[in-house]
Chains A and B, each alone.
Chain A
Amino acid sequence: MVFTSAINLIRAKGPDEFWRKRRIFKLAAHFVGRKRNCYSIAVRYVHRALAYATKGRKLKKMDMRSLWETRVTAGCNQHNMEYGTFRESLVRSDILLNRKTLADLAIWEPHTFKSLTDIAKRRAIDDGLVCLNNKEEPVDRIITRGTLANKS
């Protein structure tokens, strides 16, 4: 867009002063002290809060992700497995579950989670991933092409 007259370069004043301040005060309503009552102080803290909110949207996702990883690691360690081996083996078995689902399964469906670790262990043994903590543990109830090929 090309401005042909200087009139468009004047900054728009916006709405009436009352409504402008009211918009800031509404955002500052839950602050404590002069931050919520005095406009010149409130507007600074509102701008800071909005900046934190912008950063927080990303941080929240990262925090949840690390929490799920901690929980799934705990679930794996109960069955003598490393987190990395577990995820890699699941991907190789075409079980594409994300961290959130795995963490929920570890908490609410421990038997389902155990069968997932059994599948992952069988896959890790078949593919020769050397990261298993306890190699002697029997995982015979999982049948894969690898086990069938070995038996025949």
Chain B
Amino acid sequence: MSALKRVQQWATFARIWHIYDAAWQNPFQSAELIKRYLMGLHKPIYHPMNDCGDNVIVINSSEIALRGDEWKKRSYFHHTGYPGGATWTLAWDLHSKDPTMVLKKAIYNSMDGNLQRRYTMERLFIFPDANVPSKLLGNVSNQIRQLRPVPKRLDHYTEDEVQTCPKIIDYPTDYVVR
């Protein structure tokens, strides 16, 4: 095998590190996207028996956005195994206990339940904020594009931008601004 072919082989089968910013993203749609990178579905050489998945680092998982009132309605089931050991935790409660868990479960559930699933999950690293160990961050060579643009909140605009923004209406003099 020539040197060129050898390098081509390494480049084809090397595991790449991707980074994904989960801020303001739907965790369930993001899971479908991240799953593709974890399982290697984004490579034309994909085969179910071919271990060609990549590593993915997810940051800002504490800032995920669920739609509607799903924070209050979506429940996560757990059973300790003992009688009466069933618990149903609401999404907001689970998120306050561990801000990575909602996204992790979304990705885990988006994959088929087979023997490979737990090993695939080991290639996923989720962090609640942007503090990633430099050991991991040094490997990253690709950023996965976010599914939807991050909206900018009013208190994130500078004072000048707010003042210079063209006004559409003047509030009536007797209007109480809360």
- Partner-B contacts on A (CB < 8 A): 67, 70-75, 77-78, 103, 106-107, 110, 113
Contacts and interface: CB of A to CB of B under 8 A. Distances in A.
Interface residues of B, number: 8
Contacts of A71: 44-46
Of B43, B44, B46, most buried by chain A (CB within 10 Å of CB) is: B44
Interface string B38-66: 00011111111000000000000000000
Nearest to A105: B44
The residue among A67, A70, A106 with the most chain B CB atoms within 10 A of its own CB is A70
A103 B47 contact: no
Contacts of B42: 74, 77-78
A78 B36 CA distance: 12
25 contacts: A67-B46, A67-B47, A67-B48, A70-B41, A70-B46, A71-B44, A71-B45, A71-B46, A72-B44, A73-B41, A74-B41, A74-B42, A74-B43, A74-B44, A74-B46, A75-B44, A77-B42, A78-B42, A78-B44, A103-B44, A106-B44, A107-B44, A107-B45, A110-B44, A113-B44
A93 B103 CA distance: 42
A13 to B, nearest CB: 46
A103 B47 CA distance: 12
Nearest to B42: A74
B111 to A, nearest CB: 14
A74 B43 CA distance: 5
A67 B49 CA distance: 12
B66 to A, nearest CB: 25
Nearest to B40: A74
A66 to B, nearest CB: 10
Contacts of A106: 44
Contacts of B47: 67
A121 to B, nearest CB: 18
A106 B42 CA distance: 12
B34 to A, nearest CB: 14
A146 to B, nearest CB: 29
Nearest to A73: B41
Given A71-B45, A74-B44, 10 more contacts: A67-B48, A71-B46, A74-B41, A74-B46, A77-B42, A78-B42, A103-B44, A106-B44, A110-B44, A113-B44
A72 B44 CA distance: 6
Contacts of B46: 67, 70-71, 74
Contacts of A67: 46-48
A77 B42 CA distance: 7
A67 B45 CA distance: 10
A45 B47 CA distance: 30
Contacts of B43: 74
Contacts of A77: 42
Contacts of A113: 44
Contacts of A103: 44
A103 B44 CA distance: 7
Nearest to A63: B48
